[in-house]
Structure 1
Amino acid sequence: MKKNYVNLILVSVFACCQLSSAQNKYEREFRIRKSQFPSTAHDVINNNIVGAKHLRFYQENDNNKVGFTAKFKKDKLWYSIDFNNEGTLEKIDILINSTDIPNETYSNIEQYLNTIFSNYRIIKLKQQYYSNNDTLEKTFKKAFQNLILSSNIYEIVIAGKKERGYLDYEIQFDSDGNFNNIRTALPSNYDHVLY
């Protein structure tokens, strides 16, 4: 009888662990050839980007969808442009430093991080421009001028420690530093390393 209770508890704990891990969104990004990149997305890049260096193409897979990303350097800034599976522009990211975020916004972000994590290390900061109702030209113009707008989203990738060890998180904040979204991220892909 006691063994049945132990088995029942173990099964329920295992089921709860499986359900809680299913809530996470896991992305994996890998490099692809130019020919594998959607032609409509490639046309958008050719028509709107001049003077890009180190242009590389990636495919992004997660639980729900497949997306494509073009990464490049332009005017001393690193950009990544995200497209959906059909080649439609979703957003433009710029890698930034903490000094590029307005002081009040950054202090709100730090305050949130200090309340949620006992310790953390910032891995990457991004300023995001979404192509909500804007034309392609307007979205690219905002991103390439690196404008600070009320529609900006800041995404921070951190290694954060809660009660049990460190995990990687992607956290989004609005232009005022208010929390929008958090998700657990997979650690970096090191498939290219040979042992």
Structure 2
Amino acid sequence: MKIFTTLFCFFVFFQIGFAQNKYEKETKVKKTEVPESAIQFVERLGYSQKVNWYKEEGLKQVSFEAKTKYQGKWVSIEFSEQGVFEDLEVRIETSEVPKATMQQIQEYLIEEHAKVKIVKVQIQFSGEEELIIKDYDRMEDLEGLTINYELIISTKWKGSFTRFEYLFDRSGGFISRAKIVLKMTDNLEF
């Protein structure tokens, strides 16, 4: 009985890790609609370019996101619906991912899919707000921050082209995968 229970739990958790869907509806919002703590966090980073605010509605949660450009790269900072900092992501090229990490990621993707096109790569920083604010320009070198890589890929899956969002740790170890669900209007048939 113990073996059956253990196998059942393993199967359920395995399926949860690989069967997630991701849907996000992004709507531009006014700064006045954003929690004050999120606004203050972004202001402390001191961006010189305009910051645009978005409300993201997912399948299970709502969040706010600040988007801007910094040193020629797109930056997005995500907050919970209550304004609690979640992560900061910087869009990068695959060539900017450390070679050993990228090799590990590519090996994993090739095992999962026959052919893969990497559409987008972001380095993701999470952890203490004060570390990010204080040492923004050298986050990759800081202890105490979690660094992950988020990739959007396009691949043929179950007979049609599909996009997935993968998350890998700083060494290229797999964390999660979610199938990207098209906008609800993309699925309407007339």
With the shorter chain as reference, the TM-score category is: 0.7 to 0.9
Rounded to whole Å, the distance in 1 between the matches of 2:46 and 2:185 is 32
Query: Residue 140 of structure 2 aligns to a residue in which SS?
Result: coil
The structure having more radius of gyration, on CA atoms, is: 1
Query: What secondary structure, in the 3-state scheme, does the structure 2 residue paired with 1:152 have?
Result: strand
Aligned match of 1:50: 46
How many Å separate the matches in 1 of 2:184 and 2:76?
A: 18
* 1:35 aligned onto 2:28: no
Instruction: Indicate how the Cα distance of structure 1 residues 130 and 24 shifts in structure 2: closer, same or farther if over 3 A, else same.
Output: same
Q: Which residue of 2 aligns with 1:154?
A: 149
Deviates more, 1:103-112 or 1:146-155: 146-155
Shift of 1:109: 0.6
Distance 1:163 1:182, change over 3 A: same
**1:169 and 2:152 aligned:** no
RMSD, matched Cα: 2.3
If the length of structure 2 is used for normalisation, what is the TM-score? 0.78
Quick one: structure 1 residues 39 and 169, their matched pair in 2 at CA, closer, same or farther if it must change by over 3 Å? Answer: same
Distance in 1, matches of 2:134 and 2:153, equals 29
Q: Normalization by structure 1: what TM-score?
A: 0.77
| In 2: Cα distance, 1:123 partner to 1:62 partner | 21
Residues 86-115 of structure 1: per-residue CA shift (max 9 Å, x gap): 101011001011111110110111111111
Deviation at 1:143, TM superposition (A): 4.5
Higher relative contact order (CA 8 A, sep 6+): 2
- Counterpart residue number, 2:16: none
Distance in 2, Cα, partners of 1:29 & 1:121: 24
Q: Secondary structure at the match of 1:170?
A: strand
Aligned length: 166
> What stretches of structure 2 of length at least 5 have no aligned partner?
1-18
Secondary structure of 2:50's counterpart equals: strand
Aligned to 1:86: 82
Displacement of 1:189 in angstroms is 9.2
- Contact persistence 1:92–1:143 (CA under 8 A): no
State the identity %.
Answer: 27
| Greater alpha carbon shift after TM alignment, 88-97 vs 163-172 | 163-172
Give unpaired runs (5+ residues) of structure 1: 1-21
Distance 2:138 2:184 in 1: 31
Kept in 2: contact 1:116–1:162 (CA 8 A): no
